[in-house]
Every structure is written in structure tokens, then in C-alpha cells.
Structure 1
Amino acid sequence: MDSEEVTAPCGAPDRAEPPSSFVRLDSPQGLQDGGLETTPEQVRQEIERYKELCGALEQDNATLQREKEDVEQRIQQVKNKRELIQENLQQRNPLDDLIQSLQSQIFLAEEERSGLKQEKEMLEKELEETRKKSWEDPIMMLPALPERNLVFKGRATDKEDVNKLMLTPLIRYPLQGGSALITFEKAEVAQRVIEVKEHTVELSHGESLEELDRCQMRVQASPVDVLLPSALEIGLAQSSRSILVSGLPGRGIPEEILLDKLELFFSKTKNGGSEVESREFLDDCGQVVLTFVHDGVAEQLIARGQVQVPIGKTKYKLKISPYMRGEVTNLQLQPSRCARTVLLSGIPDVLAEEPMRDALEIHFQKESRGGGEVDALGYVPAGRRALAVFSE
């Protein structure tokens, strides 16, 4: 179709500027100075171009819509998480109370532990003071004496020494870790070692060693003081229901079998016995103490003095003696110093037990260092304890 020509009237006002909210599009080709003369082909091209622009805008709008939905979805997820966290926090309130309660209990337990630690330190201090006092007052050692069965092997006479008892001391001396007891053959050697007080002991031997390669340790030497009984009084009383059986066969018969044979024999009334309450084998003297249920049985057997008891295929003539019960009524102790023994303390834990013992013995047997011939040496490593036994 033919295009119409439109001519603007003269004196028409200039075109107004479009609002800022609109986008100015470029003038189509062929339009100059606001002219409207176009061809159909140009119009079709412009329409296609605007269609493409509209399609691009629709795609951009769809993309923006999807992004908006994604953002709204994420916002909702964040809100849901926040609500869930708030619910969890509300549910954790009882757990927080429990945690606070446990923390309070831990605090109280720590305070109690601190108090017990202080009490322990006070008790250890009191124990140390008691030990020091025990050396000054020997009677303090009385409660620590163990009970002991004694068998009198002497003869009673009319002389004044009838009540005297000879004692052979057997002293048990506690040793702490990191210490040693060394006994020399001569007392003067022990005295020289004690007078020096501190000794430097070589742990690495060899004349070719450099000064930096030598390893040494310092130990302290001190005397060994023990408590020995100076006077002992024992109150004796004869048991009314016990007897002492001696003259038993040698060790070829086991103790339990021997005790069974004796109980079987002395529990019969035809043998002058009765029901046996207890039996005890005294290892140090090889004798047996039998205690009967009823009084008077022991007195009749003691009056007989001897009985023939079949043990195995042999009959043995056993001696029946009264069983005396004794109780210590008075014990006097006096401090005594071991003449040939020295206590070494402050020994560090740097060598095994055997090499450390050898190093100490090598050092203290050298006369050039004030030592001498060593009779015995006992070493207790750090972290352990031991008990040394002194006997005459």
C-alpha cells in the first residue's frame, strides 16, 4: 500500500522531552530531523528489532523473578533456622542448669581436696615431730612393738638372776627411695666417711675420659641410729586351758599332718584329753601349743609330764609343759649408733639398680677417698621402699 505523507503544520510546538522514567530509543534509520517518511521494509525491521528487545526484557524479567524467589526462599530458610535455634536454646536451659550445678560441685570438690591436702601436710608434720620425739623419749616406741610368742629355754634356780631374760636384738630399719646402707669391715672407715658428710661419686670410669664426658653425683653420708632395749619386764601367767607339747619328730612330717595327729590324740578322753579348741605350731622352737575347750584338762596332762603319742608307725614320747602367757609391762629403750654402717641419701635416679650399687661400692672401697673394705651394701632406687634388718 502507498505510504501516506504527513506534514507537520507550521508553527507546531517543539516535541516535549520524554519523562525520565522512559528510555529514549534511537531514531530509526531514514528518519532525519524528526521526519516520518519510512518504507515498509524499514518498519518491519524496526518491529523485529523491538520484538527482540521485548524478548530480552522478558528474559531479564524472568531471571529477576527467579532470583527474587531464590532470595525469598533463602530468607525463609534463615528464619526457620533462627526459630529452630531459639527452640534449641530454650530446650537447653535445663542442660545449662545441670552444667552449672556440676561446675559448682567441681568447685566444692576442689575446695575439699585443697583442705584435705593441707590436713595431710599437717599430719605429716606431726608424724615427723613424733618421730623426732621418739628418739628423745624411747617409751614413745612402745605402741609399735609387735606381739611375739616367747618360749623360755633356761633353767629356773634360786639365784637372784632367775627372772632375767637375755634378748638378741633384731632391728628393722626403714629405707626410703634414693638411699643406701653401706657397712664397712672397720668402724674407723665408717667414721671417716661420716665426717666428710658429702661425697662426689664418679658414675663414668676411665682414665682417658675428658672432663666433659665424666658424670658425677653428690650423696650425703650420715650415721645410723637405732633404738635398742635396755630393760624389759614381762608379766607371766600360766594358761588354764593350754599346754606346750615338745619332743616332736623331725621335719620329715608336714606341719598340718602333725597337728592333725596331735589334735586327734589329745581330743580323746581315754588319753586324758578333751575337745581341742585351737592348735598352733611354733616355728622358732618346733613346739606345739594346744588349747582345750574345757578347764582342768590342761592341768591333768601337765601333771602326767609325758605321754606316748603314735605318729605314723612310731610312738613318740612327748613332753607336756605349762604354757605361759606373757605381757610386756615395762620396756626401756636407748638410742644406739651402728659403728660400721653409714646411711647414704640424696642418690639421684640416673642409673639402674645394679650399676648404681657397683658405682657406690667402687667409690667407697677406695682408701684414697677415705673408704675401705665394704662388708655389705644395700641400695633402694627412687620411688621404692625397703626394710633393712640389723642383727648381732
Structure 2
Amino acid sequence: METDQKLAVKCPNLELVTDNASKLEIIQQEIENRKAFHNALQNDIAQLEKAKHEIEQIALEFNARIEKLQQNMEDDKLEKHKRDLNFQKQLEHVETVNNNLREDQGNIKVELMRLKEERSELEKQLKVSFSMPHKQWSFNGKIEEDDEPAGEFDLKPYIRYPIKGGSAVITFEDEAVANKILEMEEHEIEIGDCRIKIKAQPLKLQMLEEIEIQTGVCKKRILVSNIPKLTTTDQLLDKLELYFSKQRNGGGEVENIEVLEDSGNVVITFVTEGISENLTKKEFHQVDLRGIDNILLLRISPFINGEIVKVTVREVISKRSILFTGIPDIMDEEILQDNLEIHFQKPSNGGGEVDAIAYVPEEKSAIVCFEVDSEKKNEELL
């Protein structure tokens, strides 16, 4: 009865069945249904397990892919950082190059401006040759081909040599006599009742070998030429200063005005720059000076400054002049000089014809001047 009641609970339809056979059949049918349901559940569980396994595999694959993507992202991020650093370095390098180029460009502009100014100055100096005052020259001689570069010229030496007191300089006509006197070195000279010993020394002179002069157009001066002699120099300077100090004549305040004695031309110096440049743009000026009836056609030229930038000096030994030292002051200057000249003119004393003599007594000093002897070779100095 208890079994039936339990079955009845599980199978509510049993209450409608009266016989046991029918009940048993119903129960068996329910058992079969339960088995079928259980099998279906087992099959669903297996399907779910399989699906779970597949999902877990998919999850693992996705996790692996996610990790790989994250790693790739990290690698890409690192690579991007490296590229950014490299790009930054390249950018800094390019910026440095640009700065250097801008600096070079600035330097080139400055150099270009300097070259333009230098060219302008050179052009001005080039024009000077066409605007310098005329001067008549006459040439007497012969023309020879010369390999020396243009712009060089020869200077005639004029040497000033200081000598101390108790010394004499004697120039002989014959170079061989001078050499013989030097070889003897010490000379004993009889003067009245006295005998003096003096020493012969070679005369070493500092001679100018080369001089380099840099010229340039003065920005404050002009050179006025073609000036006729119509009045005195002082009156002319006053009239020119008055004329060129007026702005309506293209001038300005005059600082100084002077006449060049060798040429008669006039140099006018203005206080400010620019006036001389404007005036020299026109070569000839019609100048109306007060007190002079005629209108003068004066030539206005740039004034050239010269600056010595290089001097080369070499030491030369005079071939015919000798320095004598140790001469005591024992008698009158002229008498002692005459005795020296007489002594060195005698061939018995190793001397010869004396060309010039200069004696300086003790406690005095003098300057002896030397120049090239035109009758001798160019190397020989008096």
C-alpha cells in the first residue's frame, strides 16, 4: 500500500485505474518515459559539456590571440617610440643644419655687403685715374720692356745715418781703397806732435727694399684743380672756402682748406662725410667767386689717402764709405778733419782720393745722408 501510494504520487493517473495490471502498465510506461527523459537529459548534458569544452578552447584561442595582439601592440608601441626618437633626432639634426645654413646665409650676406662696399670703393678708386688733376710730364730716355707687375715703382734711396761724437765718415772714390782701409782696421795718424789711433768699421745702413701703400678715397676731402692765378693765395682760399661752405653750391661746413705748394691745387676738408662724394660726381664745376669777374671752370677730384701697410728693410754695407771711431777731440774741428782727409788721401797710408768726409767732435752728434751715386752702379752708396 505504501508502494502504491508513492506511485500514486509520482503517477497521478493511477487513481483513476482500479485494477493492478493497468496500474503496473501505467507505471512501466512512466518508467520508460522517465528513462527517455533521462537519456535526453544525459544527451543534453553531453552536448553542453562538448559545447563548454569548445567554448573553453575558443576562449583559450581568444586569450592567446589577445595576448599576441597585446604583445604586438607593445612591440608596435616600442617601435613607434623608437621611430619617434629617431625622427626627433633627425628633426633636431635638420634644425641644426637649418640654423647653420641661416648663420652661413647671414655671414654670406655680411660678406656680400662687404664685397659690395669694397667693390664700390675700388670703382671709386678706378674712376680716380680719370678725374685726377692734369699735370704736364715730359719723358727723356728710352722705353724698355719690363716684367715687373703694374703698380710697382722704384724708389731712390735717401738714407739718414746718425753718428756719435768722436767719429768720422769718409767716402773714397775707389772701392778698392775702401776695402784696403777696412782690412787694416786700426790706423795710427800723426797730427802735429801727437799720434792718435782710430778704428775703421764697415758702415751698415738700413735701406728700404719694399714699401706697400694702401690707397683709398677720403670721404671728407676734395681736390680742386685748374685754378687760374687771378689773386693771392690767401684771398683764393678765402673765396673757395666761402663758396664751398654754402649748401646751395653743394657744399657744407668747411673744417680746413690748404694749398699744395708743389702743384698749386687746393685740398678742402669738410666737417661731415658725404659732401665730397656728391661734389665729385660731377668732374667740372662752374664756380662764381665773389670779386672775380670771370666764372671759373674748376675741376673737383676725389682726394686719395695713402697708408703704409708694409715696409721691408734690408741691411747693406756701403762699398765706398767707412766709419772711423775713437777720434779724440785734441784740436779745432776743421783742422782735425783736414788732417784726417790728408792722411787717408796718401797712398803710402793705404788711402786714395777722398770723395767726401764728415767729422763729428766728441760731445756732439750729427746725421749723415746717403743716396745712390748716379755715376756709379746702383748698389753703391755715397
Cα shift at 1:188: 2.1
Equivalent in 358, 361, 373 of residue 378 of structure 1: 358
Q: For residues 195-248 of structure 1, what are the alpha-carbon distances to aligned partners after superposition, in whole Å with 9 as ceiling and x for unaligned?
A: 2111122212xxxxxxxxx32211111111112222222222211111233455
- Counterpart of 1:230 in structure 2 is 209
- Counterpart of 1:289 in structure 2 is 267
Equivalent in 160, 166, 171 of residue 178 of structure 1: 166
Instruction: State how far apart, in whole Å, the 2-side matches of 1:382 and 1:216 are.
Output: 17
Determine whether 1:220 maps to 2:199.
yes
Aligned AA (1:184) = F
Cα shift at 1:302: 2.2
CA contact 2:133–2:301 (8 Å) conserved in 1: no
Equivalent in 310, 330, 341 of residue 350 of structure 1: 330
Determine whether 1:341 maps to 2:321.
yes
Bigger Rg, which one: 2
Aligned AA (1:275) = E
- Counterpart of 1:360 in structure 2 is 340
Task: Provide TM-score, normalisation by structure 2.
Answer: 0.52
The 5 A counterparts of 1:118-197 are 161-197=149-185
Instruction: State how far apart, in whole Å, the 2-side matches of 1:312 and 1:371 are.
Output: 69
Instruction: State how far apart, in whole Å, the 2-side matches of 1:221 and 1:311 are.
Output: 67
Instruction: State how far apart, in whole Å, the 1-side matches of 2:318 and 2:133 are.
Output: 29
- Counterpart of 1:13 in structure 2 is none
Instruction: State how far apart, in whole Å, the 1-side matches of 2:364 and 2:133 are.
Output: 39
Instruction: State how far apart, in whole Å, the 2-side matches of 1:152 and 1:340 are.
Output: 43
Cα shift at 1:254: 7.1
Q: For residues 271-328 of structure 1, what are the alpha-carbon distances to aligned partners after superposition, in whole Å with 9 as ceiling and x for unaligned?
A: 4332211234445655443211122221233233344666986877554322222222
- 5+ residue gaps, structure 2, are 1-131, 136-146, 373-382
- Counterpart of 2:277 in structure 1 is 299
**Secondary structure at 1:348 match in 2:** coil
Greater Cα offset, 342-351 or 327-336: 327-336
Aligned AA (1:302) = T
Instruction: State how far apart, in whole Å, the 2-side matches of 1:338 and 1:248 are.
Output: 46
**Secondary structure at 1:304 match in 2:** coil
Task: Provide TM-score, normalisation by structure 1.
Answer: 0.51
Q: For residues 140-180 of structure 1, what are the alpha-carbon distances to aligned partners after superposition, in whole Å with 9 as ceiling and x for unaligned?
A: xxxxxxxxxxx9999xxxx9833324323221111101111
The 5 A counterparts of 1:104-115 are none
- Counterpart of 1:329 in structure 2 is 309
What is the alpha-carbon root mean square deviation over aligned residues?
3.3
Q: 1:373 to 1:294 in 2, by over 3 A?
A: same
- Counterpart of 2:244 in structure 1 is 266
* Structure with the larger helix share: 2
Instruction: State how far apart, in whole Å, the 1-side matches of 2:158 and 2:215 are.
Output: 23
Instruction: State how far apart, in whole Å, the 1-side matches of 2:323 and 2:171 are.
Output: 9
Aligned AA (2:306) = G
Instruction: State how far apart, in whole Å, the 2-side matches of 1:224 and 1:160 are.
Output: 31
**Secondary structure at 2:251 match in 1:** coil
Aligned AA (2:331) = L
Instruction: State how far apart, in whole Å, the 1-side matches of 2:290 and 2:356 are.
Output: 45
Greater Cα offset, 241-250 or 294-303: 241-250
- 5+ residue gaps, structure 1, are 1-150, 205-213
The 5 A counterparts of 1:83-94 are none
**Secondary structure at 1:289 match in 2:** strand
Instruction: State how far apart, in whole Å, the 2-side matches of 1:333 and 1:203 are.
Output: 40
